[in-house]
Structure 1
Amino acid sequence: MAWGSEPQGRRETERPQVLLLRPPSSVFHEALSGRFQLLRPWESPLPFDRFLAAHAAGVRALLVTGLAPVDGPLLDALPALRFVVTTSSGVNHIDLAECARRGISVANAGAIFSMDVADYAVGLLIDVLRRVSASDQYVRRGLWPRAGDYPLGSKLGGKAHWHCRK
């Protein structure tokens, strides 16, 4: 069945059901909630297995935030499932062979955030080596006027050489 087609008995005004295994970020939730009926088992009084059983016939898509496992028992509980989408770049938490066997498509974030992660890592490295955050806390605690300047951390020099102070 195509994503946009309506199953028997569904009114045109109903939104497709998407099962969430964990709470997504608020921005992500807002972006999806207008287009899809988001099923949030953590908000249900039903145990997880009974929640799945109650919604299994209508769940065509599963959104995985974090690294929640998608394995055979979960797939067994969702016989109408056709799509698994994960916000992670990796798919080690998803049984790809089992999804392929069942005709379930899997999509992930891929390398979309790689440049941002690399930039963030370099920023954190500079922060730790130069002690930027630590010196900020030193000043905020009012220690600067009483104890004097906060010593800066190691300075990087050259392209391929690391200079460490002992």
Structure 2
Amino acid sequence: MQKTLSVLLVATLTLSACNSWRNSRVNPTNWFGSSTPAPVNTSPDAADALVPKQSSGTGLFAKKEDEDTSILIATIDELRIDPTPTGAIIYSAGTAVRQGAYNAHLRLVDSEENRRNGILEFMFRVNYPKYSTQQGTVQSRMVSDAATVSLQDLEGIRLVRVVGQQNALESRRR
């Protein structure tokens, strides 16, 4: 009986001490105050505060820019333009020369002649591994990519062309 009473007394005293712990400076939840509004810094430099500044690339530890080793895909097999509410998705599929093609991308050809004639031209480029690979079947060499184009970029465009090594596919606006 005496043991039970002493345990109950110690538990009661410990529990009553919790109230002072809540307001104590030792309590980690009290280390910072409540949030308050702060003024917004709207300087033009603040927008890119977390983006590292581009260096000129002349320093001792400057990283060289990667060389573009991509080449045109062998043949273009499919060109499809799917309209979206904000523009269009230009989808293209092609067959690579050998297996292992990666990093396929449609690269926009920006020229004054194309703009004047209303042509949106893409070059279908891929990278190949440095080691030799088998040619394989046509299905194993198929590569595809897509590019999104806004309505603003499509304004005045009458022809979309995707160019490969051996051929090019075009789609005209109706």
TM range (shorter): under 0.3
TM-score (norm 1): 0.20
Larger Rg: 2
TM-score (norm 2): 0.19
Could you say which structure has the higher strand fraction?
A: 2
Could you say which structure has the higher helix fraction?
A: 1
